[in-house]
Amino acid sequence: MTLISPYAFLALAPPAQPGQQAPPAWVNMVPLALLVAVFYFALIRPQQKKTKEHAALLKAVRAGDKIVTSSGIVAVVVTVKEKTLTVRSADAKLEITKSAIAEITERSGEPSES
């Protein structure tokens, strides 16, 4: 008998005593509900928050912002279109999708920190 088998876990449950009633069915659902709640607060909710923050970042990008793409390219935004951006990095001019933006490091019109 292996401990991976679900029958092994069922065998660990205390046997019902003669003359005792079985516990209500909802008692067996409590651990499952707790597990779902833990997964929601530990995994699903933080991911939704991160997605909303990234969507707000994409809406706020404007010409002159200094950005870092998800591939690590540091560039300055030249023009903003509906789904793409034209950026300048060193001597290269690139057109990238908005979803490739990882962060905005410096806003246009704000003084540099260095």
Cα distance between the two ends of the chain:
66
81-86 contacts, C-beta under 8 A, 24 or more apart: 85/61
d(CA 68, CA 52): 19
Q: Which residue has the higher pLDDT, 96 or 6?
A: 96
The pLDDT tens digits of the residues spanning 30-39 come to 999 999 999 9
Q: Domains of the chain, with CATH numbers?
A: 24-106 (2.30.30.100)
Residue with tokens 């909710």: 45
* pTM for this model (two decimals): 0.66
Model confidence over 31-61: pLDDT tens digits?
999 999 999 999 999 999 999 999 999 999 9
Mean pLDDT score across all residues of the chain: 87
Q: Is the pLDDT of residue 97 over 50?
A: yes
pLDDT band at residue 114 using 50, 70 and 90 as cut-offs: very low
